[in-house]
Chain A
Amino acid sequence: MLTHIVELGKFGINELREFGKAGVLLYRVLICWPNFRKGVPLTLQQVYMEGVLSLLIIVVSSLFIGMVVALQGYHTLAKFGAAQQLGPLVALSVTRELGPVVTAILFAGRAGSAVTAEIGLMKATEQLSSMEMMAVDPFRQIISPRFWGGFISMPLLTLIFNAVAIYGAYLVGVQWLGLDPGVFWANMQDSVDFHLDIVNGILKSVVFGIAVSWIAVYQGYDAKPTSAGIAIATTRSVVYSSLAVLGLDFVLTAMMIRGW
């Protein structure tokens, strides 16, 4: 009995220590904003690696998600004779929920895991230590650009996701199922509010961007310097990011619907 309580206490202290280490890492990333001349090219490189290279998966999946939501929504709405409400249905569900959340989860799988594996391998092969030996701060050179790259990429990817998903819904609803395009757009514009729906969705994606990049960077930096350690860290990065995104999504939605 007593050993169990001791185990629990140990577990709790360990978790707290992990969280503290992650907090210190985030603090150092935020403070060590790389100087402009050297830092911006490094960050741009990471925006390319994490953002531009994720475009394909984001565009393809958003097109199909928009098409599927439109197809499902059309057949359900048609039962109630409300098929002309398809535009609002798709636009609201995409801009409020699907856009930020699915982008963040895909981003965690596509870019977050790569960042974790890269930093983990750098640690395992002692590249980070050798950088320190050469008086190059690994935070400025490696960690901070990766964090900011993810932070910048996520809202941009979400915007593209939203637009492409709504275009997919337009393809299915108007071109295939034959809704009136005027009614489709008119109802959509009537019920979608720029600040309440679109800006709040982007706000969510900014928060998810911080969460996913933070978890990816921390898991890489904290990985055990073995091949098994890197495998565990990469898995954790994806699992923790996805859980954090879904959990944060609920909290943010609750805050936004109650009007902050």
Chain B
Amino acid sequence: MAAGRVPAAQTSNATLNAAINSVARLSLSSAALTFPDADPDTVPSIQASQGPITVTAKARTSPNGTVTLTIRAGDQLRSGLNTIPEANITWVATGGGFSNGTLSATTAQAVATWTGSGVHTGTQTFFFRNLWSYATGTYTLTMTYTLSAA
């Protein structure tokens, strides 16, 4: 009789390891804000010329980890020796996790908070409180965003 064939098999195991570490990335649709000059009586609150700024925050964290986006002014608005308190700049936000706020140079203000990993998008529209008491000039300040994943 003819010999039959016996199914044969040889196996070998391998182990897959993947390191997923914490990482965060923030992008803004505009890195500059401009408030045009206006009559305080007719425009008491000046909206930034750029309109809503789109904020995209990406972060990887633990399953219940907190992701926080804050903003802090570097100083008051300054024009030579003249100053305007940074608290005269406020924002209105849209998007899940985002909140409205007022700029501060002493304490970082929360822009948004989320739980867990993911990509989040929202907008901030900035407003400048327009007053007759301001000295004329071209004022500037720098704001710093910080995205952190705990």
Q: Do A and B come from one complex?
A: no
